[in-house]
Amino acid sequence: MIEIDGIIYSLQRQGGISVYFDELISALDRTDIDYQLALHEGHHCDSSGSNVIVRKPRFLERYRAVRTSSDVGIFHSSYYRRPRCSSGLKQVVTLHDFVYERHTEGLKRFVHSKQKFAALRSADAIICVSQATADDLDYFVGKVSAEIHVVPNGVSEDFQLVSGESLPNGMETPYILYVGQRSGYKNFSRLARALKYLDGFHLICVGGEPFHESELRQLQSEGARKVLHMQDVSNRELNILYNHAYCLTYPSLYEGFGIPVVEAMKAGCPVVCGPCKAVIEVGGDALTIAWGDDSKDLADAVRLVGGDDREEIVKRGLARSKQYSWAKTHEATAEIYMNLLGK
């Protein structure tokens, strides 16, 4: 039997890792693979059923070793935990990124990295969501005994080209779309600075926290024409926003994958990004890349997607997005499970 350690559902209400395990659990439910999902009281997971167990959380639960039953053959933690007794038990780790190691300092980084590296070094199989993440594994951790598998993330079937779906009242085109958190390495400030070169464009930001005063001051100083922040947006609503957007701008300095990039391509929305290794791996020739590091370079790249090549850019994005699906992710993951179990 496989145990999915659902500790991530005690750490976040929503986020990329939760989406990953939501999709994995949903796929497992459609197979005959014997598994159980272990959660803790107060979790934020919608799964229920006879194969879901709910435990009482202990002090500092996220850092504790997990007690498993004797019939568990594979332990797959959602966030870098290890089983207490590992004799004969195979361990799988999904490695999403090295954000902490690249962009966090001090005690927070030390504690996170100590737990993560211990899980990686004791694993029997490591699933990296991109080759860029696999390369970072070698750089930060070095040689590990586990088999390393590059299994890209998928994308929801909710994202697609649509016709006849209009924007909500009050929204105007053309607008630049930004999706996700905005702080730190996400490099939103570069986009904010680029707006002074993009007269005539609105900016719509989806997800993340409401704008901070400092962000509003910067946007105002850069002459932003109209800026809208939307929270708790459904996939259907986001798909409409992608379909009508001039482009998705994704200036992040670092990613392990970049799911919004695939969502946008699948919905026929051009993607403008900076020279981020994982994003370039994911988007390939469908991307319009601002290779420089200043705001003018980003604005110039945004302008490019409105030129004569726009239709070709959209076609390349649609073709590229077909490489990614949660069905493919699950199929590859299930094969890893079966190989570890000797089936």
Confidence grade of residue 37 (pLDDT, cut at 50, 70, 90)? very high
Question: H or E stretch including 273?
Answer: strand 271-273
* Span of 164-173, 188-197, 265-274 with lowest mean pLDDT: 164-173
More confident residue, 70 or 155: 155
Residue-level pLDDT at 343: 66
| Whether residue 128 has pLDDT greater than 90 | yes
| Main-chain phi, psi angles of 174, to 5 degrees | -85, 145
Q: How confident is the model over 287-339, as pLDDT tens digits?
A: 999 998 899 999 999 999 999 999 999 999 999 999 999 999 999 999 999 99
Distances (CA, A) of 206 to 75, 134, 137, 181: 35, 29, 30, 9
Looking at residue 88, its pLDDT comes to: 84
Q: How far apart are CA 291 and CA 328, in angstroms?
A: 31
Residue 86 pLDDT grade (very low, low, confident, very high; cuts 50, 70, 90) = low
Q: Is pLDDT of 87 > 80?
A: no
Domains of the chain: 2-154+325-341 (3.40.50.2000), 175-321 (3.40.50.2000)
DSSP β-bridge partners for residue 90: 74
Q: Which residues are within 8 A (CB) of 26 and not within 5 positions of it... i.e. 6 or more apart?
A: none
CA 298 distance to own-chain centroid: 22
Give pTM, 2 decimals: 0.93
Spatial contact of 239 and 177, defined as CB atoms under 8 Å apart: no
Write out the two tokens for 195: 């707006």
Find the range with the poorest average confidence among 66-70, 125-129, 278-282: 66-70
What 8-state DSSP symbol labels residue 206?
E
266 pLDDT band, cuts 50/70/90, is very high
196 and 223 in contact (C-beta within 8 Å)? yes
Choice among 21-30, 81-90, 154-163, 324-333 with the minimum mean pLDDT:
81-90
Average pLDDT over residues 122-131: 98
Query: Is it true that the peptide bond before 174 is cis, omega within 30 degrees of 0?
Result: yes
Backbone φ and ψ for 45, nearest 5 degrees, come out as -110, 140
Q: What is the mean pLDDT of the chain?
A: 94
* Per-residue pLDDT, 54: 93
C-alpha–C-alpha distance, residues 131 and 136, integer Å? 9
Cβ atoms of 161 and 267 within 8 Å: the answer is yes
For 273-293, what is each residue's pLDDT tens digit? 999 999 999 999 999 999 988
Q: Calculate helix-pair angle for 326-341, 16-29, nearest 10 degrees.
A: 70
